[in-house]
Amino acid sequence: MADAVVVEERQEKALPVGWTWTTLGGITDTTRKRVKPQAYPDLRFIGMEHVEAQTMRLLGSVSAREMRSAAEYFESGDVLYGRLRPVLNKVYCPDFEGLCSAEFIVFRHVRHLDSRYLQYFLNSWDFVSFASHLNEGDRPRVNFSQLADYPFPLAPLAEQRRIVA
């Protein structure tokens, strides 16, 4: 319950001129595109093990033709957020089209939000702390509905780009 209070206090903080408070769900699109990897044999596949914890770096990938389970399709500029064990903080913004594990929430690229700004927001300690306390157990997972109401400080697009430059 203490986390909810912190979120409410954060939302009341004043933002710079031109910024506005919204929510993660109000500013993003997470439409799922579940596909069979065999239909996309030439694309790369990113599993949870391919994204380094805490760093937003890709460690590698494999060919989609090697995969058998259904996967999520992503495009360049989407943001992949590891929903399994959110404390590991696995966030990556690919610059290529590919497939990924269903253990990722795929935030689709949208016009009014720089993907790198979203990536840095999801990688922030406040957000990681919030997401990490939503579920318990040895394999805690978050889903988008749990994250959707989290306050999001939306800067003008030019300012977003300046912040992540």
- Tens digit of each residue's pLDDT (9 = 90 or more) over 110-135: 999 999 999 999 999 999 999 999 98
Asked if pLDDT for residue 41 goes beyond 60, the answer is yes
What is the rounded average pLDDT of the residues 132-139? 88
> Can you tell me the distance from the alpha carbon of 79 to that of 8, in angstroms, rounded to the nearest whole number?
26
Give the C-alpha separation, 68 to 41, whole Å: 11
Residue 136 pLDDT:
83
pLDDT tens per residue across span 50-109:
999 999 999 999 999 999 999 999 999 999 999 999 999 999 999 999 999 999 999 999
Query: Which residues face 113 on adjacent strands?
Result: 110
Residue 125: exposure state from Cβ atoms within 10 A (0-12, 13-18, ≥19): exposed
- Give residue 3's pLDDT: 41
CA 44/CA 86 separation, integer angstroms: 23
DSSP-based three-state secondary structure for 50? helix
For 9, 50, 105, the CA distances from 90, given in Å and listed in that order, are 26, 9, 11
pLDDT at 1 over 80: no
For the chain, the 3-state helix, strand and coil shares in percent, each to the nearest 5, are: 35, 25, 40
Under the banding of pLDDT at 50, 70 and 90, the label for residue 137 is confident
User: Are the C-beta atoms of residues 108 and 70 closer than 8 Å to each other?
Assistant: no
Coil, strand or helix at 154? strand
Read off the pLDDT of residues 146-158 as tens digits, 9 standing for 90 and up: 999 999 999 999 9
| pLDDT attached to residue 135 | 87
What is the per-residue pLDDT for 10?
53
- β 71-74/34-35 pair status: antiparallel
Average pLDDT, stretch 126-145? 93
Query: Taking 90 as the threshold, does the pLDDT of residue 9 lie above it?
Result: no
Residue of 114, 110, 98 whose CA lies nearest to 157: 114
Which domains can be identified in the chain, with CATH numbers? Answer: 29-149 (3.90.220.20)
Q: Output the pTM of the full model.
A: 0.90
- 115-123 helix and 157-164 helix, angle to the nearest 10 degrees: 60
